[in-house]
């Protein structure tokens, strides 16, 4: 069972439907206790970083999520759920994230339409099981005003060009993050979710 | 590179996709049924639509549940983003539509009557799902362009915001309103030219450009698509981030794929 973390941020049903479409069994979980027995964790999210962290803290998610990552439980952060993996964000002040990955979340430079809203390309930087049979330079659906700047470039699996080249997919071991919404990225996104589900299956 | 988006719009009346000519024809029965919303959505998805917009043109409270069922059914079967609009009056309406599976919610009249709702919705659900639809009507009709210097007339052109399905003038200037909705937290503007809607004379390029240039959030151009060239005009000259059309696609006169192929030939980045 793939646990989808409900912490009051965003459209969980989309993520759930996307994963189920590619054959994953899901459950929406509302407290860390429900993580017991989960084969994998998906942290979705829309909205503001600071609010998202406040919600995670209030419901006691921070340590259990860090522990799950440390234990190597397959983990996928989507959009804000990816950004939360990093140390800090400059969205509306300065907020600490989960700090599982080194780096910060920054606002796009001025002169661009912000949010970046729409389909943009994924340029692969290295091979990874998450990207198996996903076309390089394929399009995925993004909606965001801030981007992740990993301190360790080796975790960047794909970059996307929006004024700057930013990390659109990161990965380290069993932990992945996508800045775009795979559940809204048609065949490209469903393939990525399918690869995640396959890896979860292999892991058990 | 970020692709320009092609967005088919589906008007939904009593659970069916319909299309009238110009605003406000539902009451007069001047609507043609063109199909099942989920089936239409699937076809557009397969044809390469980047996003969909569903407008609830019934928007009466008793029919609301039927519409929410449509939203749920679409969300279950289509894996591209879609927005929903029509009759959104409150943050509770917002919540119900998002929970039904829509990615974005467009508000129009409610935003004008209660601009604080834009901020409320953006704070609660995130700016990414807050679309403000602006229905714009030219203050100076074509007839005025024969007076005086045409160039200065064009520079001075103004558009007024209309609400209630383009029936009620608000006294608000479109460009000022666009700036205000951005400042209040909207994530996107769906800009419809009332003068062009349903005419197939092309998008209103000047309107699109002045609004797109006045804000940093994306602007979707709407109203008037009639020929394939019009899509390129709205993007290249109108600076739109996305273009929306309804009847052209519904009646199969153009496919999304044809539009994208044409745009690519004009040097516009599209997802193919």
**Residues near B239 by Cβ (< 8 Å), separated by ≥ 6?**
B208, B209, B212, B213, B219
Contact B185/A at CB under 8 A: no
Given a contact cutoff of 8 angstroms between Cβ atoms, the answer to whether B107 and B53 are in contact is no
Mean pLDDT of B201-230: 97
pLDDT for B22 equals 47
pLDDT in tens, A61-74: 999 999 999 999 99
φ, ψ of residue B157 in degrees (nearest 5): -60, 140
pLDDT for A204 equals 53
Q: How does the average pLDDT of chain A come out, rounded? A: 95
User: Dihedral (C-alpha) B222, B69, B96, B87: value to the nearest 10 degrees?
Assistant: 40
Q: Do B101 and A162 make contact, defined as CB atoms within 8 angstroms?
A: no
Q: Do B1 and A120 make contact, defined as CB atoms within 8 angstroms?
A: yes
Catalytic residue, chosen from A79, A91, A95, A148, is A79
pTM over 0.90: yes
pLDDT for B13 equals 86
pLDDT for B146 equals 45
pLDDT for B30 equals 53
Q: Do B217 and A114 make contact, defined as CB atoms within 8 angstroms?
A: yes
Mean pLDDT of B16-30: 58
Catalytic residue, chosen from A69, A104, A144, A183, is A183
Given a contact cutoff of 8 angstroms between Cβ atoms, the answer to whether B16 and B37 are in contact is yes
Mean pLDDT of A160-176: 97
Active site residue A79: yes
Calpha distance B22→B19 (Å, rounded): 9
**If DSSP states are collapsed to H, E and C, what string results for B110-173?**
HHHHCCHHHHHHHHHHCHHHEEEEEEEEECCCHHHHHCCCHHHHHHCCCEEEEECCCCEEEEEE
Domain that holds residue A45: 2-203
Regarding an ipTM greater than 0.85, the answer is yes
Of B4, B80, B103, the CB nearest to A11: B103
Q: Do B241 and A117 make contact, defined as CB atoms within 8 angstroms?
A: yes
Buried b (16+ CB within 10 A) or exposed e, A159-179: bbebeeebbbbbbbebbbbbb
Calpha distance B5→B44 (Å, rounded): 13
Given a contact cutoff of 8 angstroms between Cβ atoms, the answer to whether A156 and A130 are in contact is no
User: The tokens of A61 are what?
Assistant: 């998610």
Interface test with A, best of B128, B208, B263 (most A CBs within 10 A): B128
* pLDDT for B140 beyond 70: no
Mean pLDDT of B54-77: 84
Q: Do B79 and A189 make contact, defined as CB atoms within 8 angstroms?
A: yes
| H or E segment to which residue B183 belongs | helix B174-183
Sheet holding A40-43, edge to edge: A26-29, A2-5, A40-43, A75-78, A175-178, A164-172, A156-162, A123-124
Calpha distance B212→B191 (Å, rounded): 9
Q: Considering its fold, how many domains does chain A have in total?
A: 1
The distance in angstroms from the start CA to the end CA of chain A is 11
Distances (CA, A) of B3 to B53, B204, B268: 18, 21, 8
Contact B81/A at CB under 8 A: yes
* pLDDT for B29 beyond 60: no
- Listed residue (B191, B175, B192, B268) closest to B228, CA to CA: B268
Do the bridges between strand A2-5 and strand B168-173 make them parallel or antiparallel, or are there none, so unpaired? Answer: unpaired
Given a contact cutoff of 8 angstroms between Cβ atoms, the answer to whether B37 and B53 are in contact is no
Contact A92/B at CB under 8 A: no
Q: Would you please indicate which residues of B are annotated as catalytic (active-site) residues? A: 11, 135
Mean pLDDT of A104-119: 94
Calpha distance A114→A143 (Å, rounded): 9
Calpha distance B205→B208 (Å, rounded): 5
Contact A199/B at CB under 8 A: no
Q: How far is B86 from chain A (nearest CA, A)?
A: 20
Q: How does the average pLDDT of chain B come out, rounded? A: 88
Q: Do A120 and B2 make contact, defined as CB atoms within 8 angstroms?
A: yes
User: Dihedral (C-alpha) B99, B105, B109, B112: value to the nearest 10 degrees?
Assistant: 110
* pLDDT for B152 beyond 50: no
The residue count of chain A comes to: 204
Mean pLDDT of B228-252: 95
Contact B50/A at CB under 8 A: yes
Active site residue A181: yes
Place of tokens 């600490």: A96
Mean pLDDT of A75-97: 95
Buried b (16+ CB within 10 A) or exposed e, B29-64: eebeebeebbebbebbbebbbbbbbbbbbbbeeebb
Q: What is the CATH number of the domain that holds A105?
A: 3.40.50.880
Please report which confidence band the pLDDT of residue A132 belongs to, taking 50, 70 and 90 as the band edges.
Answer: very high
Please report which confidence band the pLDDT of residue A48 belongs to, taking 50, 70 and 90 as the band edges.
Answer: confident
Sketch out chain B's domains with CATH numbers: 5-265 (3.20.20.70)
DSSP B53: E
* pLDDT for B196 beyond 70: yes
**Residues near B56 by Cβ (< 8 Å), separated by ≥ 6?**
B12, B63, B64, B67, B84, B85, B86, B87
A186: closest chain B residue by CA: B79
């Amino acid at each position: 069972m793939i646990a989808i973390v409900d912490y009051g941020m965003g459209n969980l049903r989309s993520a759930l439907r996307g994963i189920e479409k590619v054959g994953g069994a899901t459950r929406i979980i509302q407290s860390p206790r429900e993580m017991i027995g989960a084969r994998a964790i998906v942290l979705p999210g829309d909205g503001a970083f600071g609010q998202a962290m406040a919600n995670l803290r209030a419901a006691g998610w921070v340590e259990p999520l860090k522990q799950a990552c440390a234990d190597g439980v397959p983990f996928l952060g989507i959009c804000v759920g990816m950004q939360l993996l990093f140390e800090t964000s400059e969205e509306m002040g300065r907020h600490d994230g989960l700090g599982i990955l080194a780096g910060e979340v920054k606002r796009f430079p001025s002169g661009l339409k912000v949010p970046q809203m729409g389909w943009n390309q994924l340029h692969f930087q290295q091979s990874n099981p998450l990207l198996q049979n996903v076309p390089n330079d394929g399009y995925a659906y993004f909606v965001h005003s801030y981007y992740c700047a990993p301190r360790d470039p080796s975790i960047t699996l794909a970059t996307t060009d929006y004024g700057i080249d930013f990390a659109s997919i990161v990965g380290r071991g069993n932990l992945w993050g996508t800045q775009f919404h795979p559940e809204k990225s048609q065949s490209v996104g469903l393939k990525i979710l399918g690869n995640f589900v396959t890896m979860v299956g292999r892991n058990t | 590179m970020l692709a320009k988006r092609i967005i088919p719009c589906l008007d939904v009346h009593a659970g069916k996709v319909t299309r009238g000519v110009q605003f406000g024809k539902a009451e007069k029965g001047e609507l043609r049924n063109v199909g099942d919303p989920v089936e239409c959505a699937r076809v557009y998805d397969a044809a390469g639509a980047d996003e969909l917009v569903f407008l609830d043109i019934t928007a009466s409270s008793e029919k609301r549940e039927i519409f929410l069922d449509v939203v749920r059914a679409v969300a279950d079967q289509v894996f591209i983003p879609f927005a929903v609009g029509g009759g959104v009056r409150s943050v509770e309406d917002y919540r119900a539509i998002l929970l039904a599976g829509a990615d974005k919610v467009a508000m129009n009249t409610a935003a004008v009557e209660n601009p604080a709702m834009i901020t409320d919705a953006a704070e609660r659900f995130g700016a990414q799902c807050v679309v403000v639809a602006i229905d714009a009507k030219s203050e100076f009709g074509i007839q005025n362009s024969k007076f005086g210097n045409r160039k200065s007339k064009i520079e001075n052109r103004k558009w007024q915001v209309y609400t209630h399905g383009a029936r009620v003038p608000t006294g608000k200037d479109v460009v000022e309103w666009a700036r205000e909705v951005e400042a209040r937290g909207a994530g996107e503007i769906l800009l419809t030219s009332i003068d062009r809607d349903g005419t197939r004379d092309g998008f209103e390029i000047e309107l699109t450009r002045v609004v797109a240039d006045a804000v940093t959030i994306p602007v979707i151009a709407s109203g008037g698509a009639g020929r394939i060239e019009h899509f390129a005009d709205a993007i290249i000259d109108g600076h739109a981030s996305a273009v929306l059309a309804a009847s052209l696609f519904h009646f199969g006169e153009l496919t999304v794929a044809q539009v994208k192929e044409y745009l690519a030939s004009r040097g516009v980045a599209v997802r193919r």
